[in-house]
Structure 1
Amino acid sequence: MPAHPWLADRTDRFDSSGIRKVFDLAAKLKDPINLSIGQPDFPAPPALKEAACKAIHDDLNGYSPTQGAAALRDRLQARVDEEWGHEGRKLLVTSGTSGALNLAMWALVNPGDEVIVFDPYFVMYPTLCEMVGGVPVVIDTYEDDFQINLAKVEAAITPKTKLILFNSPANPTGVVASAESTRGLAELAKKHNIALLSDEIYREFCYDGALPSPARWNDQTIVVDGFSKSYGVTGWRIGWIHGPSALIDKMAALQQYTFVCAPHPLQHAAIEAFHTDMSAQVDAYRERRDHVVAGLRDAGYEVAPTGGAFYVFPKAPAGQGSASEFVARAIEHELLVIPGGIFSRRDTHFRISYAAPMATLDRGLEVLRRLAKR
């Protein structure tokens, strides 16, 4: 039963994000080693900040068209057309990638429809599915080093399967799906006429080669992207989604009745991203990835190969209980990491974000070395 008689039954399906609870805990500690935050630690580029101030002073403070400010939307559409060349592929600017995911779920999923989700998953996926009445069908990837096992996907497909949610580079694992498995997933969705949504918010953070997007092999793939992670502007809430025009048109109509539009002045500021080189930041994160993975393995932790985003997902040491229990001990040493059960039906791993200064990463690795020896 809901906690209050006025609350809808659907509110029993979720609680406050466990990640937010760790954020709240961080505020209470004197000198936390915070490796929990899933946002870049570099500042927004000066050109973007100046453009934001200019847009506000130029009184671009009212609503934009629901589809997005024309100046930004046209730039993004041109880039999408150049990259994919898909006939009928259309674009919508959204209130962050979270807004895009919400709109896509509302537009695609009927009550009772099945949605394939890969475990571990971005924390929103199962909850968003259930909020619209969908049924999450969870496919475990632990035994496959967090790669997609196509045989498992084929076995999970039923006449009720409507959508596959795919995230690469992945949160929480940092794993980039192989080109082979990505192509296989794209072709499998096409074969069964199932919608495939590719969440590519971390696509700029690929350290070992370009991201293999399923849109390369399936022209009906729905792609979610945004500026938040790549440019250090998570609070601006500027995302976008592109896919078949009939779907995007219906999502735009839904946006009229929900978010209305993405923040207007910040849409104009985001145009500066097209002239801003972030390769130095990506290179720095690649170096941190290598440093953290090497440090964890030297300390005896199991870590799957990670190729993107800014996360690693090590296994908690054997003989020390669940990952949640291990994280509780880490927090006693003022090290903030996220228990893997927040992202999974298993409680065996934990998430580290290396979106932190190298000195902070070294402090965290030292705590983890000590905990591994217990």
Structure 2
Amino acid sequence: MSESWLAKRTSHFDSSGIRKVFDLAAKMENPINLSIGQPDFPVPDAIKAAACEAINSDKNGYSLTQGVSPLREALQAKVDAQYGHDDRRVLVTSGTSGALVLTMMALVDPGDEVICFDPYFVMYPALVGMAGGKAVVLDTYPNFRIDVDKVAAAITPRTKLILLNSPANPTGVVATEQEVKALAELAAKHNIALLSDEIYRQFCYDGALPSPAVHNENTIVVDGFSKAYGVTGWRLGWVHGPAAVIDKLTMLQQYTFVCAPHPLQHAALAALDVDMSEQAAEYARRRDMIVDGLRDVGYEVNPTGGAFYVFPKVPTDETGQQFVRRAIENELLIIPGEIFSSRDTHFRISYAASLDTLERGLEVLQKLAKG
């Protein structure tokens, strides 16, 4: 049978549980959709105009694998100004997912261990497994804070990489300056790679994002344009880190993605001059609305400082899956926490939705909290 042809690495993943909810949403007539992890605001006109101009100017062939020079130079200048590292280089990738794939392929050998934190973005353990590594998942419940002592205790001779995501998906929690500094110093002490996924950098509501790259010059940072500018379908990301690592990622990109979408890279260059603070402020207001509305009816919600997610605890005796099933019966689409975690006690809400949708969602959640 054809199943016998499949490589063992394919056993490390199934269809994303998030994707299954998206598919369900497409079949519903009037869903209250709080499941989608992408901005709901329109792409700013200046960015769309730059994309159209690039296409009409016939910038439609391959670009340099490492990215078009104007964009790469602008990103390099930004990184140099922020960190001042002599050896830090930039690569434009096919989405942040592409950057994560390339990094795992470049760093993780079969049997290597990668430390990540539970709850986690769904892709992390799957990517580690596809590279032949072992995900060492550290529990952060109940407050979703990083315990660096717990990280230190998990390090073994096979530990190759520590994977940090802040602001975090699915919790919305932002790691503190003390947490990222301690993590950066721990990685440096043990000569372990540290990857910081900062795709939600522009959506920090209570101050600038602390990055471990400030404290460890060998930190690999993944960033992108998808979330910040509402262009998730464009597949534009970038990664910066030590030159030796970025050089190898560039070689790998030659043999995989080839390059990021060429005309859209020119639009990304225009995006760097677009102020998105108004959109970020709006999401901060929605964050407050959702968190306050949930707490008012008895939900346990940890403080959230970024991205556009909250990760409440189920307020009844049900599992997360059971609770989400009841929500779907009321046309409310949310994501069960077990998709992001070894536990099935929470659920994820995305507040990247209209105020009307959020209000309707809170009404259903109030009803569900009563059992």
Match in the other structure for 1:109 = 108
Match in the other structure for 1:164 = 162
Instruction: Measure, in 1, the Cα distance between the counterparts of 2:271 and 2:253.
Output: 24
What SS does the corresponding residue of 2:115 show, helix, strand or coil?
strand
Residue number among 312, 334, 337 corresponding to 1:337 in the alignment: 334
1:354 aligns with 2:351: yes
- Alpha-carbon distance, 1:318 to partner: 3.0
Instruction: Measure, in 1, the Cα distance between the counterparts of 2:308 and 2:241.
Output: 27
Match in the other structure for 1:69 = 68
- Alpha-carbon distance, 1:165 to partner: 0.5
| Matched letter for residue 158 of structure 1 | T
Moved over 4 A (4+): none
Match in the other structure for 1:302 = 300
What SS does the corresponding residue of 1:230 show, helix, strand or coil?
helix
Match in the other structure for 1:209 = 207
Instruction: Measure, in 1, the Cα distance between the counterparts of 2:316 and 2:353.
Output: 27
Instruction: Measure, in 1, the Cα distance between the counterparts of 2:177 and 2:116.
Output: 19
1:262 aligns with 2:260: yes
Match in the other structure for 1:324 = 321
| Matched letter for residue 98 of structure 1 | S
- Alpha-carbon distance, 1:151 to partner: 1.0
| Matched letter for residue 353 of structure 1 | S
Match in the other structure for 1:252 = 250
Instruction: Measure, in 2, the Cα distance between the counterparts of 1:21 and 1:223.
Output: 29
Instruction: Measure, in 1, the Cα distance between the counterparts of 2:8 and 2:243.
Output: 34
Instruction: Measure, in 1, the Cα distance between the counterparts of 2:2 and 2:321.
Output: 25
What SS does the corresponding residue of 1:158 show, helix, strand or coil?
coil
What SS does the corresponding residue of 2:163 show, helix, strand or coil?
strand
What SS does the corresponding residue of 2:238 show, helix, strand or coil?
strand
| Matched letter for residue 207 of structure 2 | G
| Matched letter for residue 370 of structure 2 | K
Listed one character per residue, the Cα deviations across residues 82-104 of structure 1 (whole Å, up to 9, x for unaligned) are: 11011110110000000000000
Instruction: Measure, in 1, the Cα distance between the counterparts of 2:8 and 2:107.
Output: 22
Instruction: Measure, in 2, the Cα distance between the counterparts of 1:182 and 1:246.
Output: 23
Match in the other structure for 1:271 = 269
Match in the other structure for 2:58 = 59
- Alpha-carbon distance, 1:250 to partner: 0.4
Judging changes above 3 Å, is the alpha-carbon distance between structure 1 residues 156 and 334 closer, same or farther for their aligned structure 2 residues? same
Judging changes above 3 Å, is the alpha-carbon distance between structure 1 residues 111 and 51 closer, same or farther for their aligned structure 2 residues? same
Instruction: Measure, in 2, the Cα distance between the counterparts of 1:274 and 1:160.
Output: 39
Listed one character per residue, the Cα deviations across residues 192-228 of structure 1 (whole Å, up to 9, x for unaligned) are: 1100000000010000000000011111100000010
- Number of positions where the alignment pairs a residue of Structure 1 with one of Structure 2: 371
| Matched letter for residue 361 of structure 1 | L
Instruction: Measure, in 2, the Cα distance between the counterparts of 1:3 and 1:363.
Output: 46
Listed one character per residue, the Cα deviations across residues 305-345 of structure 1 (whole Å, up to 9, x for unaligned) are: 100000000001132x2100100000000000000100001
Match in the other structure for 1:125 = 124
- Alpha-carbon distance, 1:7 to partner: 1.2
Listed one character per residue, the Cα deviations across residues 18-74 of structure 1 (whole Å, up to 9, x for unaligned) are: 000000000111100000000000011000101100000000000000000001101
Unaligned runs of at least 5 residues, structure 1: none
| Matched letter for residue 80 of structure 2 | D
- Alpha-carbon distance, 1:275 to partner: 1.5
Instruction: Measure, in 2, the Cα distance between the counterparts of 1:362 and 1:219.
Output: 44
1:41 aligns with 2:67: no
| Matched letter for residue 7 of structure 1 | L
What SS does the corresponding residue of 1:21 show, helix, strand or coil?
helix
- Alpha-carbon distance, 1:3 to partner: 7.1
Listed one character per residue, the Cα deviations across residues 147-200 of structure 1 (whole Å, up to 9, x for unaligned) are: 100111011001110000000000000000111111110110011110000000
Listed one character per residue, the Cα deviations across residues 336-358 of structure 1 (whole Å, up to 9, x for unaligned) are: 00001000011000000000001
TM-score normalised by structure 1 residue count = 0.98
Match in the other structure for 1:364 = 361
Match in the other structure for 1:10 = 9
Instruction: Measure, in 1, the Cα distance between the counterparts of 2:82 and 2:148.
Output: 26
- Alpha-carbon distance, 1:279 to partner: 0.8
* Identity %, equivalent residues: 70
Match in the other structure for 1:21 = 20
* Structure 1 segment 229-248 matched on structure 2, within 5 A: 229-248=227-246
- Alpha-carbon distance, 1:255 to partner: 0.3
What SS does the corresponding residue of 1:5 show, helix, strand or coil?
helix
- Alpha-carbon distance, 1:136 to partner: 0.4
Instruction: Measure, in 1, the Cα distance between the counterparts of 2:295 and 2:229.
Output: 30
Instruction: Measure, in 1, the Cα distance between the counterparts of 2:101 and 2:330.
Output: 37
Judging changes above 3 Å, is the alpha-carbon distance between structure 1 residues 3 and 36 closer, same or farther for their aligned structure 2 residues? farther
1:282 aligns with 2:280: yes
| Matched letter for residue 56 of structure 2 | H
Instruction: Measure, in 2, the Cα distance between the counterparts of 1:256 and 1:42.
Output: 34
Match in the other structure for 2:310 = 312
| Matched letter for residue 334 of structure 2 | V
* Structure 1 segment 220-235 matched on structure 2, within 5 A: 220-235=218-233
Instruction: Measure, in 2, the Cα distance between the counterparts of 1:5 and 1:125.
Output: 26
| Matched letter for residue 57 of structure 1 | N
Unaligned runs of at least 5 residues, structure 2: none
Instruction: Measure, in 2, the Cα distance between the counterparts of 1:177 and 1:318.
Output: 29
Match in the other structure for 1:185 = 183
Instruction: Measure, in 1, the Cα distance between the counterparts of 2:198 and 2:12.
Output: 26
What SS does the corresponding residue of 1:71 show, helix, strand or coil?
helix
- Alpha-carbon distance, 1:365 to partner: 0.4
CA RMSD, aligned part only? 0.8
